[in-house]
């Protein structure tokens, strides 16, 4: 793909280390491309990674994730976006794992990752961990990704109720991440409805975005402290460029116990709106108007003939005088 300077989406981003003095181990990127000199379809690839691991290893893993996924997607020749994203995450998982084996100070490092790839007006996603992707469409906010956490698994099994989630000691145990020694399995579900099964959710890949839709990628430093309803209100009522900073400010006001990153994107109004052409109504002529016009025309002809006759008579009179 060919990098381009101006993305076809409106974009706003912000990141903050939080209020606990932690180094910022979040990394993100937003890159704009077109496929080739012949295929000028625009695309935007947004990535957000939240690193885990001691001694600053988390930020290394997050940086490796952003760099390698970007490179893999940009160099891919496949026309199957979902498969490209899936293999990009699988490849990057191995890159991070190899790096941690090479450097003992990086042992055990990993990172969450959420990807949103908008090609034209079509959305493709992939994720591991508990960083999220939201869609705000009008008065609705939909979390398109599923957290890969102990808490989410317990909720799905029914062994935990939503009321028991807040403050639970296992709240931050992640089941999937890049850099894992277990077989990496990127989540390709794009869930538009909570009752959808996995097959239906994966079939939503390539969903069409509408004018005014906003997408938001965020790390768990935001969603731990800011409710979905509050996110919806800010996305709906604030200008796009102000939304990330306001969301981060709200999380920090409530303690900001972790790094917080927000990437927001919006489908803009079309650049060229075809305006309706105003057509002047045609003037219709009634039969009576036609008759009046005909009478006037014959009267004018008659007067002209009389004038000519008078001039002829006057010339004859002057000639014989």
Q: What per-residue confidence (pLDDT) applies to 297?
A: 57
Q: What per-residue confidence (pLDDT) applies to 321?
A: 56
Domain 2-266 fold: Phosphatase 2c; domain 1 (3.60.40)
Under 8 Å between Cβ of 105 and 116: no
Q: Give residue-wise pLDDT tens across range 2-14.
A: 999 999 999 999 9
pLDDT at 36 over 90: no
Flag whether the pTM goes above 0.85. Answer: no
Name, in order, each residue with C-beta under 8 angstroms of 97's C-beta and a sequence gap of 6 or more.
179, 180, 181
pLDDT at 183 over 70: no
Q: Give residue-wise pLDDT tens across range 228-248.
A: 999 999 999 999 999 999 999
Q: What per-residue confidence (pLDDT) applies to 250?
A: 98
pLDDT at 318 over 70: no
Q: What per-residue confidence (pLDDT) applies to 37?
A: 85
Q: Give residue-wise pLDDT tens across range 115-155.
A: 999 999 999 999 999 999 999 999 999 999 999 987 777 77
Burial class of residue 43, CB neighbours in 10 A (0-12, 13-18, 19+): buried
Which tops the pLDDT comparison, 66 or 298? Answer: 66
Q: Domain ranges in the chain?
A: 2-266, 289-321
CB atoms within 10 A of CB 137: 14
pLDDT at 290 over 50: no
pLDDT at 277 over 60: no
Q: What per-residue confidence (pLDDT) applies to 257?
A: 94
Query: To the nearest whole number, what is the mean pLDDT of the chain?
Result: 87
Q: What is the 3-state secondary structure (H, E, C) of the chain?
A: CEECCCCCCEEEEEEECCCCCCCCCEEEEEEEEECCCCCCCEEEEEEEEEEECCCCHHHHHHHHHHHHHHHHHHHCCCCCHHHHHHHHHHHHHHHHHHHHHHCHHHCCCEEEEEEEEEECCEEEEEEECCCEEEEEECCEEEECCCCCEHHHHHHHHCCCCHHHCCCCCCCCCECCCECCCCCCCCECCCCCCCCCCHHHHHHCCCEECCCCCEEEEECHHHHCCCCHHHHHHHHHHCCHHHHHHHHHHHHHHCCCCCCEEEEEEECCCCCCCCCCCCCCCCCCCCHHHHHHHHHHHHHHHHHHHHHHHHHHHHHHHHHHC
């Amino acid at each position: 793909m060919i990098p381009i300077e101006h993305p076809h989406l409106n974009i706003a981003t912000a990141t903050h280390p939080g209020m606990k003095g932690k180094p910022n181990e979040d990394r993100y990127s937003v890159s704009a491309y077109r496929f080739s000199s012949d295929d000028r379809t625009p695309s935007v690839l947004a990535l957000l990674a939240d690193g885990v691991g001691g001694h600053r290893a988390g930020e290394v893993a997050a940086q490796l994730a952003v760099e390698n996924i970007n490179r893999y997607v940009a160099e891919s020749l496949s026309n199957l976006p979902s498969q490209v994203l899936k293999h990009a995450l699988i490849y990057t998982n191995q890159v991070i794992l190899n790096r941690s084996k090479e450097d003992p100070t990086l042992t055990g490092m990993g990172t969450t990752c959420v990807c949103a790839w908008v090609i034209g007006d079509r959305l493709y996603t992939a994720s591991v961990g508990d960083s999220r992707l939201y869609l705000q469409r009008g008065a609705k906010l939909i979390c398109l990704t599923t957290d890969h956490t102990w808490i989410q698994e317990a909720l799905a099994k029914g062994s935990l109720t939503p009321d028991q989630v807040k403050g639970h000691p296992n709240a931050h145990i992640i089941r999937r991440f890049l850099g894992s020694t277990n077989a990496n399995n990127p989540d390709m579900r794009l869930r538009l409805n909570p009752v959808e099964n996995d097959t239906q959710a994966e079939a939503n890949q390539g969903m069409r975005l509408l004018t005014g839709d906003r997408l938001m990628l965020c790390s768990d430093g935001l969603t731990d402290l800011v409710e979905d309803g509050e996110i919806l209100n800010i996305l709906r009522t604030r200008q796009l460029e102000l939304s990330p900073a306001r969301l981060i400010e709200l999380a920090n006001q409530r303690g900001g116990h972790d790094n917080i990153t927000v990437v927001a994107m919006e489908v803009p109004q079309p650049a060229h709106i075809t305006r309706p052409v105003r057509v002047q109504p045609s003037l219709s002529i009634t039969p009576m108007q036609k008759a009046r016009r005909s009478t006037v025309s014959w009267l004018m002809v008659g007067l002209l003939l009389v004038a000519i006759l008078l001039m002829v008579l006057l010339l004859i009179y002057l000639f014989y005088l």
